[in-house]
Amino acid sequence: MNSEYNNSIDKLLHNINENYKNWYGRGNNWHKKDLVLSVITGRKFDKIISDSSVWGFVAKKDGLHKGLPMKSGDVFKAANWSSPAKHVRGSIFSDNTNWFEWTGPNYIV
């Protein structure tokens, strides 16, 4: 993987944690705990783990997923522990962070 991809994954993990601390800190400014986040690398996707659940999946390369095009850095909700849902929810390369919460990528509206 290239360094831009790796840096963007690190930035995503940081932003997930910041989103959590902002949510957790409402009314609890005395304690701002961190989430335990990790990345499990697969063949087509990196799986983002939050504590013991799947936060979402990040496409490692351009291609097709369930018949739809995907680009490197596209983020998907988890369909289950081992596979992403069908539609892209955001991109790790975007400066915009309104497409996700600490609980996972947002639903499509």
Note the pLDDT tens digit of each residue in 29-71: 555 678 899 999 999 999 999 988 999 999 999 999 999 999 9
Per the listing, tokens 């989430």 go with 35
The answer as to whether 89 is a domain residue is: yes
The answer as to whether 23 is a domain residue is: yes
Measured distance CA(31)–CA(3) in Å, rounded: 33
Residue type at position 10: D
Which residue pairs, CB below 8 angstroms and at least 24 apart, start in 60-66? 60/1, 60/5
The answer as to whether 22 is a domain residue is: yes
Indicate the number of domains in the chain.
Answer: 1
Task: Name the residue range of residue 58's domain.
Answer: 3-99
pTM of the predicted structure, to 2 decimals: 0.89
For residue 74, give the nearest of 1, 2, 7, 9 by alpha carbon. 9
The answer as to whether 14 is a domain residue is: yes
Contact 13, 37 (CB under 8 A): yes
